[in-house]
Structure 1
């Protein structure tokens, strides 16, 4: 084990991909951590498609997406991602962090220094930018102002398993240009039957054509791909393509884009398995009164950090460490995946109930 911050478990170091179980120092543990919500990282069929992609595209294509030689597999993957979330268009990059930084760096230059904005508490660092103000109410100006505004937010509180209400969108002014940027890294593939937050937001913005919506996400969570994606209208994405952030960065490995394009119904089938597991997990874990969980989100959060070493002693590894920095409080979560079995869920529920009785 490696060292860890005070109040957190020492980290396991292993030499294999986590699946339903992990092996550490000769012992096997049930694994209820990570972000492979759909289990695609461990899916044998995806492994086969990736091998096919590697044979076709090699390990990587370290060239600008704006170069004079372009691989069409990226456009194919972007079209499929856009169709998944019902967005007009998509643009892929090499990580979710880069997706956010491409957008906010562009946004800072577009809105200018006089823009006012609001960065919601808990917004992921991917959407932080030194020129974009935080915690300022952009909607207290006189009606008819020409000053643009922006809002930066997450789609879900991935730490404490809470989904956010966006009902406030209906109250936005209609005579002001507003940029709404939402990080959907933990919602893509999960929320709204796997479509993520885009369709929910566009429905709530029906009467607000003045609001320009941009959604960013990591593909490394539920989608199981080493990359990031930006959803918006084609004009906005065309502008983002011209930025130095986008043009100077290598894309995601094309072999993974190929695997996604060729994945067929694998993601839809995995979502169905996850939904069944999640329904059973709610039935088993919520009655312990130890956890809170947003409906449809595969994370069960608890304030009882001491349950992590207790479960570890029973051969069950759960998420428990300080985040986003080592100075932050440890947070403890049980993460459900499509690859778990009913027996796995019954086992963790048994020991969670046992722990609850000990309190």
Structure 2
């Protein structure tokens, strides 16, 4: 495992540490949006119009159209009936689960993000695939008519795309709400980066209600969160104290989000090209865990992180979720990387792995 580094600079394709420049293959900014010049210019346009923040309630007698315009766009973009934004993915997740608290029996999949916990008692560890069978058995024996299943769309730590083949096995005699956290897929996976909502909605039985919660701060680089679902649920969220009592997302960023559809598209295409280039230049891609068109590559040999850092490349490597746990090591690509950056990375990986 590599040693910790400290810096005062925002990382993009590179990172400067104590005057030395490193290639940076870590973080969750998959589309490189925070260092994208066109996006930054749109944020500045938004700030010229809306200021640096909107320090008021969404229930105020002053209504900024950009909130409604963004939510209408997000619903169209994802195929959802309605969308609900807040200032962070964490807050959006809390607004959702607290609104459903007391309405049914919650079942959590392993490693669901704390944003969707009602309390620390909801933490579940273990393997997702091993969870599915017992969960389906438990569902059959529950007396409660309404069950709320909470899970992630994918595992960004182990670079695994979760299978949802079990959806067809859900019992038809219960009302089921399926909450999926798509924070690490939204903006990258799905059609034009629209995430998992449409894909899952098409596979659900009539008795299953789909809700997708997501941070917009990963691939999309927007400090906001979104909940996607049916209009009845979104209206319920709008009447919660979370909606009225919390400051909303920063309008300047929502303005930039609406203006930068082509910027996101171009960044996605560049990311997919970078992924293909990386795989094409690895001598043994099987040494990584990964799935198609996703920029995270799980590393099985943790010594690689220290080796790369010695040669001017920083990847993700840290013990998770606590300092007592095993390290999780990953190579993470983003849209800002050049072919030269990736070629340097693959040359080092290939040299490290040779007998």
In the superposition, the TM-score normalised over structure 1's length comes to: 0.91
> Partners of 1:326 and 1:242 in 2: how far apart?
40
Note if contact 1:118-1:133 (Cα within 8 Å) is conserved in structure 2: no
> Partners of 1:166 and 1:286 in 2: how far apart?
32
1:139 and 2:139 aligned: yes
1:14-53, Cα deviation, whole Å (9 max, x unpaired): 2222111111111111110111111111110111010111
1:356 and 2:322 aligned: no
Match of 1:168 in 2: 166
Q: Structure 1 residue 298: deviation in Å?
A: 0.7
Match of 1:5 in 2: none
1:308 and 2:305 aligned: yes
Match of 2:149 in 1: 151
1:25 equivalent among 18, 26, 38: 18
> Partners of 1:342 and 1:231 in 2: how far apart?
36
Greater alpha carbon shift after TM alignment, 219-228 vs 261-270? 261-270
Compared CA separation, residues 146 and 10, structure 1 to 2 (3 A): closer
Note if contact 1:182-1:215 (Cα within 8 Å) is conserved in structure 2: yes
- Structure 2: gaps of 5 or more residues: 125-130
Match of 1:129 in 2: 118
Report the 3-state secondary structure (helix = DSSP H, G, I; strand = E; otherwise coil) of the residue aligned with 1:36.
coil
1:303-341, Cα deviation, whole Å (9 max, x unpaired): 211111100011101111123333332211110111111
**RMSD (Å) for aligned C-alpha atoms:** 1.8
Note if contact 2:6-2:17 (Cα within 8 Å) is conserved in structure 1: yes
Q: Structure 1 residue 146: deviation in Å?
A: 6.0
Report the 3-state secondary structure (helix = DSSP H, G, I; strand = E; otherwise coil) of the residue aligned with 1:23.
strand
Note if contact 1:285-1:291 (Cα within 8 Å) is conserved in structure 2: no
1:200 and 2:202 aligned: no
- Equivalence map 1:185-224=2 (5 Å): 185-193=183-191, 194-205=193-204, 208-224=205-221
Match of 1:181 in 2: 179
Match of 1:55 in 2: 48
> Partners of 1:125 and 1:326 in 2: how far apart?
18
> Partners of 2:101 and 2:122 in 1: how far apart?
6
> Partners of 2:292 and 2:178 in 1: how far apart?
24
Report the 3-state secondary structure (helix = DSSP H, G, I; strand = E; otherwise coil) of the residue aligned with 2:322.
coil
Compared CA separation, residues 121 and 348, structure 1 to 2 (3 A): same
Note if contact 1:146-1:177 (Cα within 8 Å) is conserved in structure 2: no
1:94 equivalent among 87, 96, 112: 87
Q: Structure 1 residue 286: deviation in Å?
A: 6.9
1:224-273, Cα deviation, whole Å (9 max, x unpaired): 01111100011110001111222211111111011111113111111111
Match of 1:4 in 2: none
2:4 equivalent among 5, 11, 23: 11
In the superposition, the TM-score normalised over structure 2's length comes to: 0.92
Q: Structure 1 residue 88: deviation in Å?
A: 1.6
After TM superposition, the runs of 4+ consecutive aligned structure 1 residues lying more than 4 A away are 131-136
Note if contact 1:319-1:335 (Cα within 8 Å) is conserved in structure 2: yes
- Equivalence map 1:203-282=2 (5 Å): 203-205=202-204, 208-282=205-279
2:341 equivalent among 333, 344, 356: 344
Report the 3-state secondary structure (helix = DSSP H, G, I; strand = E; otherwise coil) of the residue aligned with 2:4.
coil
> What count of residue pairs does the alignment treat as equivalent?
343
Report the 3-state secondary structure (helix = DSSP H, G, I; strand = E; otherwise coil) of the residue aligned with 1:265.
helix
Q: Structure 1 residue 173: deviation in Å?
A: 1.8
> Partners of 2:3 and 2:281 in 1: how far apart?
28
> Partners of 2:306 and 2:209 in 1: how far apart?
46
Match of 2:33 in 1: 40
